[in-house]
Amino acid sequence: MFESAEIGHSIDKATFDAAVPALREALLEAQYELRQQARFPVIILLCGIEGAGKGETVKLLNEWMDPRLIQVSTFDQQTDEELARPPAWRYWRQLPAKGRMGVFFGNWYSQMLQGRVHGRFKNAVLDQAIEAALALERMLCDEGALIFKFWFHLSKKQMKARLKSLQDDPLHSWRISPLDWQQSKTYDKYVRVGERVLRRASRDYAPWYVVEGVDEYYRSLTVGQILLDGLQAALKTKSRQEPQPHAAPLTSSLDNRGLLDSLDMSQALDKADYNEQLIAEQARLSGLLRDKRMRKHALVAVFEGNDAAGKGGAIRRVTAALDPRLYRIVQVAAPTDEESAQPYLWRFWRHIPARGKFTMFDRSWYGRVLVERVEGYCSPADWLRAYGEINDFEEQLTDAGVVLVKFWLAIDQQTQLQRFKEREQTPFKRFKITEDDWRNRDKWPLYRDAVGDMVDRTSTEIAPWTLVEANDKRFARVKVLRTLNEALEAAFAKD
Amino acid sequence: MFESAEIGHSIDKATFDAAVPALREALLEAQYELRQQARFPVIILLCGIEGAGKGETVKLLNEWMDPRLIQVSTFDQQTDEELARPPAWRYWRQLPAKGRMGVFFGNWYSQMLQGRVHGRFKNAVLDQAIEAALALERMLCDEGALIFKFWFHLSKKQMKARLKSLQDDPLHSWRISPLDWQQSKTYDKYVRVGERVLRRASRDYAPWYVVEGVDEYYRSLTVGQILLDGLQAALKTKSRQEPQPHAAPLTSSLDNRGLLDSLDMSQALDKADYNEQLIAEQARLSGLLRDKRMRKHALVAVFEGNDAAGKGGAIRRVTAALDPRLYRIVQVAAPTDEESAQPYLWRFWRHIPARGKFTMFDRSWYGRVLVERVEGYCSPADWLRAYGEINDFEEQLTDAGVVLVKFWLAIDQQTQLQRFKEREQTPFKRFKITEDDWRNRDKWPLYRDAVGDMVDRTSTEIAPWTLVEANDKRFARVKVLRTLNEALEAAFAKD
């Protein structure tokens, strides 16, 4: 969930200065159009890590746009008047009117995050609060509102550095953060609870946008661009019955660096190391799957990746040392007639293994947010709601003891080209390359966006994505096996 | 929630026999059209009170329709295969394909009801289960499914009689219900938990239908008619993006008897009794509002009713003996500009009183499901989702200590006519009667349906409707005051 926001996104000052005038003009224009149409309000919720730039961003938005049409509300201590009424009353009285923007700096999420981090209640109560928030947001959206939820993020290291620099700066030392943020345990808890909140509360009608906060230029441009895209899309809709206009890529990577770009693709294994490690990891997996602690668990591995990234080869290495009665490989292609007659997830549910068993999905339920999104096989409304549905689905699996490991096998364009050509030239590999593969290759940037969104939306504490640097097949195969083994051992250790 | 299903609905055999052939033919036709289109599946969930006719209804549906296209699933003990997988797996494997109908006899609701009734978990966990069920249902609906949820109801007295008769009948004694249903405490718990489940899980895309189960003719025709209406509406839609086709009146009262018809409208008070009781109740209210236990509560009273039912007069009698600093009267008319620029509930939230205070709403948030529904001031999608939104809203109020009392002042058509004429003839009352009033009168049956649905959907344990027989103004005024007093005393007693 937060991976993409810990890779050190940055934009240099010159690029920033060059981009700002056009962005400001477009934002102002959108703002006046919003006032003119007066069809819907815009609600902006800000949350995230201390020191990640929430306050600065609000200041900047007020500078960039017409502050008379933005109303900033903070929700700290409740006033006497608020304490005398139901908790939601304070939010209702601050709602922006149609045609206006409201920034809720501190909001319903801040309160539940604080409460859970400080142990004032448990997950069941947190989940009730999340559901209440979603009910409110859905109602606001049904009534026409456009909602943006921003999570400003820093890695733990980034946060510590940031707090330190604020402390040392005489101009900012009054801003010293609450004491508890100085403790790294607070950071861990905050991120863990935040992850649960974002996973459950990111919905098509009101998604969360995670923004890396360490570089102010990147952060500011990113927030500005997301707002602009969302506003322009919403202003173009004809009626409030149309789908919520949040169809822009959820990850707006203005510095052209995504999570995939941050991989070290040069990683490789020589043949001797490979043989040794492969056999060791295969034996380890075979042992773990026969371990009696496996009775409480099932193992599900999802294999996704670029064409020719080596999914099939990796799967064969995984199964090499396994008892065939213990595992199944499910190859996901176009749905059968029977599958088409059912809800999307049905064809995956039917293959969920019983406890003690292991199922590998060669392509998976992520097809909806990859190929179906890029090729337009489903409507934007369908793939936009799929992230939430998939997270719900995976939570049901892991709640039942399923250990879920998800691999994205990544190769670069050059490597793909080589492998395609090699396939064409090798008679027994020719069946593996089709016109479709070449067509998909032309859509490389669209797939890159889709993969970025997918990882950001669905890499969760309970079911993280593992990005596998697969230019070197040997490295990739060993990493896959090792990741499976580590996931099983971690699950056993928690029992 | 269950009031309309405890009034002894019944249909005589002759009417039943006359109606069945046409209904069966239409159902069969709809079923074949469903298979023909193969665009969506139909899922029917059955829950409710033991002995209320769930099993008989399933049998009947299979008799009436083509059983090859209906698949009945029961979910009792989990099988070994099911136990080895996530809990939802058993439901997924039984989902009907597009073009087919699935009856889930025992389902996700049965399990959470049982669990909560037997104290295996508390409300927070129940609420998580409800939210999980709604997430599943919303996803199924987004994927095109048409879902019906039936609650078969009996009053406690009806249930006891029914269980007794089954026991005495040698043909049915094998059907003796589980022991715990013999205890009236189980009934109370089941109804209380059921009420919470229905209140939270009745949504526009998958509403609950409550069917009184005591008379088999009424029960069978009602279920058949609701299915037919829903199916026909869904078959007419062009795409699955259209709003869910559940726009038929939620209460289908085939015997032409609603809750309103079951009131004894002849109730009256003579002048001496009235004066005595009025003064006593006014003094009691004045005392209660000044009681120090009032510091934890606020009082909100909603006045709705037929035109000329005497809302204004009742409100004046309520306030007669009160300190004007303690109460406010909010008259709800067309929204102001400011109110129009906000979500629907905003104009009511702004008037929610602080603790210690009392607010009367002369007309209220129920406008959306009354006048706005009947006059078409909002779309069906808007008023259909309003029931759930209103229940959420009222739960927030009562959770915060607000005592919420809702009155429907009911008069019959004859009484209304007299009062209208009287108003026209009395100079100082002439302002109270307009063309609108006469127009509304023509829509009496539409309003009756809307009031029936409103009470069925929003009369909840936390905020029940009080139906006030208002043909006699004196009787109505005293009943209003007494109800307010009793509600306050009940709240104080619980503190």
pLDDT over 60 at B173, yes or no: no
Cα of A392 to nearest chain B Cα, Å: 8
Residue-wise pLDDT for B291-316, tens only, equals 999 999 999 999 999 999 999 999 99
pLDDT over 70, % of chain B? 94
* Minimum Cα–Cα distance from B138: chain A residue: A389
Give the sign of the dihedral formed by CA A167, CA A168, CA A174, CA A175.
negative
Place B328 in a pLDDT band, splitting at 50, 70 and 90: very high
* Minimum Cα–Cα distance from A379: chain B residue: B241
Chain B hits for A93, Cβ within 8 Å: 349-350
B148 close to B226: Cβ distance less than 8 angstroms = yes
More confident residue, B215 or B261: B215
Do the domains spanning A3-253 and A261-494 agree at the CATH topology level?
yes
pLDDT at position B248 is 54
What are the helix and strand counts (H, E) for chain A?
19, 10
Spatial distance between the Cα atoms of A365 and A359, rounded to a whole number of angstroms: 14
Q: For the domain covering B3-255, report its CATH number.
A: 3.40.50.300
How big is the A-B interface in CB pairs under 8 Å? 131
For chain B, the domains span: 3-255, 261-494
Angle, CA of A68, A91 and B347, to the nearest 5°: 85
In this structure, what token pair is assigned to residue B396?
């927030």
Residue-wise pLDDT for A244-259, tens only, equals 556 555 555 677 777 7
Contact B95 A343 (CB under 8 A): yes
pLDDT at position B384 is 87
B125 close to A122: Cβ distance less than 8 angstroms = no
Contact B92 A346 (CB under 8 A): yes
pLDDT at position A170 is 65
pLDDT at position A159 is 86
Q: Which amino acid is at A13?
A: K
Contact B342 A127 (CB under 8 A): no
Chain B hits for A343, Cβ within 8 Å: 95, 139-140, 143-145
Chain A hits for B343, Cβ within 8 Å: 95, 139-140, 143-145
pLDDT at position B334 is 87
Among residues A212, A296, A305, which one has the least CA distance to residue A494? Answer: A296
Place B247 in a pLDDT band, splitting at 50, 70 and 90: low
Residue with tokens 């959770």: B399
Helix B156-168 with B184-201: angle, nearest 10 deg: 120
Residue-wise pLDDT for B43-101, tens only, equals 999 999 888 888 889 999 999 999 889 999 988 888 888 888 988 999 999 999 999 99
Chain A hits for B381, Cβ within 8 Å: 241
Spatial distance between the Cα atoms of B356 and B237, rounded to a whole number of angstroms: 51
Cα of A143 to nearest chain B Cα, Å: 6
Fold of A3-253: Rossmann fold (3.40.50)
pLDDT at position A345 is 94
Instruction: Tell me the β-bridge partners of A230.
Output: none
B214 close to B154: Cβ distance less than 8 angstroms = yes
Site from A130, A134, A139 to mutate, B interface, most B CB atoms within 10 angstroms: A139
Contact A354 B140 (CB under 8 A): no
Superfamily of domain B261-494: P-loop containing nucleotide triphosphate hydrolases (3.40.50.300)
Contact A99 B139 (CB under 8 A): no
pLDDT at position A248 is 54
pLDDT at position B441 is 84
Q: What ipTM was reported for this prediction?
A: 0.81
What residue ranges of chain A have pLDDT lower than 70?
A: 169-183, 239-253
pLDDT at position B279 is 95
Spatial distance between the Cα atoms of A171 and A294, rounded to a whole number of angstroms: 57
* Minimum Cα–Cα distance from A98: chain B residue: B341
pLDDT over 90 at B268, yes or no: yes
* Residue from the list B338, B343, B353 with its beta carbon closest to the beta carbon of A139: B343
